[in-house]
Amino acid sequence: MIKLIACDMDGTLLDSKKRLPQGLLPALRALRAQGTLFAVASGRQYAALRRDLEELVPEILFICENGALVMQNDRQLLIDPLPAADLPDIVRTARSLDRVYPVVCRAWRGLIESSAAPDFIEETHRYYPSYEIVPDLMARCDVTDVCKVAFYDEGDAQTHELPVLQSALGSRLSVILSGEHWVDVMKPGVHKGAAMRGLQKMLGIAPEECMAFGDYLNDCELLESVGESYAMENAHPVLKAMARHIAPSNDEDGVMRVLRERFSL
């Protein structure tokens, strides 16, 4: 029996217009009645997930910030932050890159610099509705609840910022491509899969009793942490190659179609 399902948001649960599938809330309640918990697993900030999924808050778990933070009903279940000693090097590396801007992602609030481009600040608000604009990130490198530092690239993240970040930071930190314009820098060993395993241990649930859905490279460890792994039809080829199953695309209601079939909803 599947007791816990984790589902990525962008490109997976959400369609290409960022819309939730119809019938999701009744489906989650039906799953709960069957004894199955549901978690969204995202690189997004908890405040953003809570804003966009407000009606689902009582029903689900939130694996946030690519696994560094797990929340339930505004209660922090797990956090695995970056060491504060690494923050100055991360900020300095950000400043060495042209048209790249960092978001220092604390558990409840993101920090961005006032010198950032206006377009970036607007983009940040989409994913980090709880943020503070500060004069100098270097002056805030003593905080101890930083889940990750997210780097936004105005160009192509994979070819522009990713190689530089990997070269400068990859020997001691985890550098993850999380989208076309985003790269996340995190504590090594922190990812959606580690958060899923933490939940499994906390709840007494075996990996074989879990299911997960994803579409991008930051979902690899999540899919590895469960018995029933689904890559979306629109997923990155690497993820599709490692998944046990392929679900229809996010624009074809793929997650809901699988849930309806597997759980007779």
pLDDT digits (tens, 9 = 90+) for 87-136: 999 999 989 999 999 999 999 899 999 988 888 888 788 778 999 999 99
Mean pLDDT of 236-245: 97
Residue 49 CA, chain-centre distance (Å), reads 10
* 110-113 and 100-106 strand pairing: antiparallel
Strand partners, 164: none
Instruction: Encode burial over 183-193: b for 16+ CB neighbours within 10 A, e otherwise.
Output: bbbbbeebbbb
Across 37-158, the runs of DSSP E, i.e. the strands, are 37-41, 61-64, 69-72, 75-79, 100-106, 110-113, 131-134, 146-153
**pLDDT tens, residue by residue, 176-226:** 887 889 899 999 999 999 999 999 999 999 999 999 999 998 899 999 999
pTM: 0.85
**pLDDT tens, residue by residue, 133-161:** 999 999 999 999 999 999 999 999 999 99
Q: Which amino acid is at 136?
A: D
Both tokens of 188, joined, read: 């090594």
Instruction: Please state, in angstroms and rounded to a whole number, the distance separating the CA atoms of residues 263 and 261.
Output: 6
